[in-house]
Structure 1
Amino acid sequence: MRIIPILAVTAALFTAGCVDEMVSDLSVANSATISHTDHKLTTAEQVKIQSGMASYLNTPVVVSGLDASYRLQDGLITVCGYATGGGPQSIFAAHLVGGQFQPVRIPGKGQDPARIAAVRQYCQANNIRI
């Protein structure tokens, strides 16, 4: 019978330590400023991206792996994905501004490792993991 109070005190101490840890994790998470939110592309936006990439590359393309974010500060929609057309698949980044497609011009071509790294970094800065 004396073991039950000892177990209760031990459990209370253990739980108190866990709560403090959880509170500190929440305060760290709440201190970060949210700048972007996920954006689900509409069919019309996907068509704009498809035709915009074809026009930009001046060749028929197929886009895939599209992901987008919405910047809370000004409503800018950033899109990242892959384009295939007339060559190997390439990663790209673009914006939809007023419903119009605007590619992000990052130096390099196609599969250039430095260009791929720069596009990935740009996408990650806009809260897109690709």
Structure 2
Amino acid sequence: MVQLNPYLGFRDTAREAMTFYASVLGGEPTFRTFGDGGMSTDPADADKILHSELRLPDGGVLMASDAPSSMTDLPSESSITVSLSGGPEDSERLHGVFARLAEGGTHVMPLDTAPWGDEFGMCTDRFGTGWMVSVAAAPAD
């Protein structure tokens, strides 16, 4: 089975971001630094994150890394948006996740009933990653 797993790139904040995402989404992140992997010739990169994984309790994997110092042409803000979705039974959890992700970030669209009947909201977290959260409406009887 093919899986699609988001891979987020950061400028020196991957460890902090992944630790935050674990506190919001659950799971325990793993970290491998450039120093561990022998992947950088710049000593300043030794403690930067070469690769991090967060295996989510409900399935899926969120991955991330820091950019090495040699990568100077990075955009100033993330162009990545991660989508989280669930059914009516997940509403309370997803509302809590949305609120935590938006702390210190920006509410783009409140998590509320959308014109198509589901609940939908968007925010940008304090690390610049965009999030879309969707809660499917309960089926009509």
Q: Same fold (TM over 0.5)?
A: no
Length-normalised TM-score, structure 2: 0.25
Q: Give 1 or 2 for the bigger CA radius of gyration.
A: 1
Larger helix proportion, structure 1 or 2?
1
Q: Which has the higher contact order (CA 8 A, sep 6+)?
A: 2
Q: Which has the higher strand share?
A: 2
Scaled by the length of structure 1, the TM-score of the pair is 0.27
